[in-house]
Chain A
Amino acid sequence: MVERKKATASGGYIVMSVLAAIAMIGFGAWIYELVYGLAVTGMRNVISWGLYIFTFAYFVKLSAGGLIVASTAEVFGVSALKPLTRIGVLTAAICVAVAAMFIIPDMGRPDRLLNLLMHPNFRSPIVWDISIIALYLAMSVIEFGLLSAPPERQWRSLIKTLAILGLPAAFALHSITAWIFGVQISRPYWNSALMAPMFVVSAILCGSSLIALIAALLQRFAGFRFESSTWRALATMMAASLAVDLYFVFCEYVTVLWGVVPRDMIPYRMLMPNGKFGALTAIEWIVGGVGPFVLLVLPAARARVGYIVTSAILILAGVYAFQIGLTNVGEANPLIQLPPGTSLGTFTDGASVFQLVGQYAPTWVEYAILAGLVAFAVLVFMVVYRLLGVQMREPQSSLPAA
């Protein structure tokens, strides 16, 4: 079980101040974007979704691990995962909230956000996604609240119910997020029935990797000590979901590369070793795929924290690479690819306003907002964790009756 050592507090405050500063810079960049319009990003008419959207999808995936780890522990009674329950639920809540926050800077008119409630189109996967994100966030916040009550006052039956509901909710969340891409008949690279299962598995994969990373950080800096059975359970979860994830991607490759249908092949050529996005494929398959898989299944390496954490970091990079490729390659090639192509929507003196194949590179504004929101996520985690840590040490402290 968990055994706490005395945590060093002073270092934490420095880290938190730095994080708060980065978050403020990100907020400033967003204000800048609001003033000058989305033209300050690298997005244009052809590739009209960029860093915000692939990071949104990535954070949605990251939120999976937590809740799935927590629910698995509760529902199937996997005692090895029990110590991770609360951290898992907290991670889920923060990641899904930050994922939703990534949508805001992507919107051209964030001031009209309420239109989503006033005039929803229930045929739109965006409306499904917003609904499930809200539900998932509410569920994880409530579950976290219940778990944080002192043990003698915990409402066990409700926690159990929420844990059971957490699994289908996580599946729904990732499937729906996948369908934003998967249902688009105009994007051959996205338009696949495998998209939803692939998102679910890769969510379990990078979600459990994130939990492993957080657990390692807690063990290193917060005086937590997780037993080797917990590490082994996490490693098994990571290795299994990594194998299934790679298998799904492989199935897509076989189907498309065997068929050689031009409109399917064009995006895949970009992903081949000599293609424009070949590096992303290499990161996905080798750095974040085969590499960590070997690390996780080697008998010598199993249950050794260093190996598991290395794998987790590599996997997190691999899934992010996949997400970048998915968004960019999917949008880079319009179905009607005839010159001069699509107009950009902005004008730079002397440069062509048309693009045949989409070009996209994030600008400093996007990077600043990315850094800001990531820092915000870590900061919230640290703040909540500290408040909770106080509560854990003194369970009999005077809490308002819930």
Chain B
Amino acid sequence: MLKRWGMVIDQNKCVGCWTCAVACKSINNEPLGVHWNRVLTTRPDEDAPGKEPVAATAIDVPHGEFPDLELAYQPLACQHCTDAPCRRVCPVNATFRRDDGMVLIDFERCIGCRTCFAACPYGVRTFNWQRGQYGSDFEVGYGRDYRWNDRLVFTPERPVGVAEKCTGCVERIDNGQEPMCVAVCPAGARVFGDLGDPDSEISFTIKQQGGRQLLADLGTGPGVYYLPVSRPNKEHI
């Protein structure tokens, strides 16, 4: 079967430390106010989170009333959908999908119309409204352009007026490394691998533990799976 990169996130292991989000910001030199990856506060029994939007009060605030409190985390970045709505609406094919499942943006083609912002059900895109502001006066992270098929899919300093989002650390995975959020997760909550290979760790985990996609009923076919905290055949370590 064709290679299809994917990720599984175990919400039972996630401690909501934001290390993935911070590492993502660093490796990709994301400006202040831009988060490709973030950790949302949710409930353990959330059935396919987002099915019933719960506008909880704030980050890290548990649901319920003392002492019956509950809390879980849902890291969220681009889901690298098989049939990505953002790719369908992009008028200039700036958003495209590689055969290995990675949905990428060509920074040199995007016209900045933001129809993809309206289309993405996961709200994971972010726009370069202005020249990026940084906390430090030096560049951090990968630090150079990355092209795939001559298309600029990563550049440390993004042009003003184009859309961007998680690239799945395409420059790393093409060189046999894991995406940064997977590599740094201190809880080991993330597994990256080939969904096309039924014997891979990721495929096995999803099958064995009941991995769920976000807003699966929309039929976008995300490449990211979640293992909810409350799940029938949870394996305790």
- The interface of chain A, by Cβ under 8 A from chain B, is 36-39, 43-46, 48-49, 103, 106-110, 112-113, 115-116, 118-121, 123-127, 130, 180-181, 184-187, 190, 262-263, 266, 330-331, 333-340, 342-348, 353-354, 356-357
Contacts of B53 in A (CB 8 A): 262-263, 266, 333-338
A339 touches B58 (CB 8 A): yes
The answer for the CA separation of A342 and B118 in the assembled complex, in Å, is: 13
- B-side interface residues, number (CB < 8 Å): 61
Contacts of A353 in B (CB 8 A): 32-33, 35
A130 touches B118 (CB 8 A): no
The answer for the CA separation of A342 and B73 in the assembled complex, in Å, is: 15
B89 touches A125 (CB 8 A): yes
The answer for the CA separation of A321 and B169 in the assembled complex, in Å, is: 43
Contacts of A356 in B (CB 8 A): 55
Chain A to chain B: the 9 pairs with minimum beta-carbon distance, closest first: A108-B112, A108-B161, A347-B32, A39-B130, A347-B33, A186-B121, A337-B53, A338-B40, A39-B129
A107 touches B111 (CB 8 A): yes
B129 touches A345 (CB 8 A): yes
B111 touches A113 (CB 8 A): yes
The binding surface of chain A is classed by DSSP as loop
B123 touches A48 (CB 8 A): no
B130 touches A186 (CB 8 A): no
Inter-chain residue pair count (beta carbon < 8 A): 199
Contacts of A130 in B (CB 8 A): 91
Question: Can you name the residue of chain A whose Cβ is closest to the Cβ of B58?
Answer: A339
User: Closest CB of chain A to B49's CB: distance in Å?
Assistant: 7
Can you sample 22 A-B contacts with CB below 8 Å?
A38-B127, A38-B129, A45-B125, A49-B118, A107-B161, A108-B111, A124-B115, A126-B113, A262-B52, A335-B50, A336-B40, A336-B214, A336-B215, A338-B74, A339-B56, A339-B59, A340-B59, A343-B33, A343-B34, A353-B33, A353-B35, A354-B35
- The interface of chain B, by Cβ under 8 A from chain A, is 31-35, 38, 40-42, 49-50, 52-59, 61, 74, 76, 85, 88-94, 109-115, 117-123, 125-131, 133, 159-163, 214-215, 218, 220
* From B89, B92, B109, B119, residue with most partner A Cβ within 10 Å: B92
A340 touches B92 (CB 8 A): no
A48 touches B33 (CB 8 A): no
A37 touches B38 (CB 8 A): no
User: Closest CB of chain B to A110's CB: distance in Å?
Assistant: 8
The answer for the CA separation of A127 and B91 in the assembled complex, in Å, is: 6
The binding surface of chain B is classed by DSSP as loop
A126 touches B115 (CB 8 A): yes
Do A337 and B160 form a contact, CB below 8 Å, given A113-B111, A124-B89, A345-B34? no
Do A45 and B49 form a contact, CB below 8 Å, given A336-B122, A339-B41, A343-B38? no
The answer for the CA separation of A44 and B126 in the assembled complex, in Å, is: 9
Question: Can you name the residue of chain B whose Cβ is closest to the Cβ of A265?
Answer: B53
* From A38, A112, A331, A356, residue with most partner B Cβ within 10 Å: A112
Do A338 and B49 form a contact, CB below 8 Å, given A116-B91, A130-B91, A186-B118? yes
B123 touches A49 (CB 8 A): no
A334 touches B92 (CB 8 A): no
The answer for the CA separation of A256 and B91 in the assembled complex, in Å, is: 31
Question: Can you name the residue of chain A whose Cβ is closest to the Cβ of B39?
Answer: A340
Contacts of B93 in A (CB 8 A): 119-121
B126 touches A115 (CB 8 A): no
User: Closest CB of chain B to A267's CB: distance in Å?
Assistant: 11
Do A109 and B89 form a contact, CB below 8 Å, given A343-B34, A346-B33? no
Partner of A345, one of B33, B85, B120: B33
Question: Can you name the residue of chain A whose Cβ is closest to the Cβ of B110?
Answer: A109
Partner of A339, one of B61, B115, B117, B133: B61
B42 touches A338 (CB 8 A): yes
The answer for the CA separation of A340 and B119 in the assembled complex, in Å, is: 21
B130 touches A346 (CB 8 A): yes
Do A106 and B113 form a contact, CB below 8 Å, given A37-B161, A39-B130, A337-B53? yes
The answer for the CA separation of A235 and B150 in the assembled complex, in Å, is: 59
* From B53, B121, B214, residue with most partner A Cβ within 10 Å: B53
Question: Can you name the residue of chain A whose Cβ is closest to the Cβ of B31?
Answer: A347
The answer for the CA separation of A143 and B52 in the assembled complex, in Å, is: 52
B129 touches A49 (CB 8 A): no
A121 touches B92 (CB 8 A): yes
User: Closest CB of chain A to B177's CB: distance in Å?
Assistant: 25
Contacts of B88 in A (CB 8 A): 121, 123-124
Contacts of A343 in B (CB 8 A): 33-35, 38, 126
Contacts of A337 in B (CB 8 A): 50, 53-55
Partner of B111, one of A112, A340, A348: A112
Do A119 and B109 form a contact, CB below 8 Å, given A184-B85, A340-B40, A344-B33? yes
* From A39, A45, A103, residue with most partner B Cβ within 10 Å: A45
Contacts of A123 in B (CB 8 A): 88-89
Do A345 and B127 form a contact, CB below 8 Å, given A126-B91, A337-B55? yes
Contacts of B126 in A (CB 8 A): 45, 343, 345
Contacts of A345 in B (CB 8 A): 33-34, 126-129
User: Closest CB of chain B to A218's CB: distance in Å?
Assistant: 37
A184 touches B119 (CB 8 A): yes
A121 touches B91 (CB 8 A): yes
The answer for the CA separation of A338 and B73 in the assembled complex, in Å, is: 10
A108 touches B130 (CB 8 A): no
B40 touches A45 (CB 8 A): no
Do A37 and B131 form a contact, CB below 8 Å, given A126-B115, A263-B52, A347-B31? yes
Contacts of A103 in B (CB 8 A): 113
Contacts of A124 in B (CB 8 A): 88-91, 115
B133 touches A347 (CB 8 A): yes
Partner of A120, one of B42, B91, B131: B91
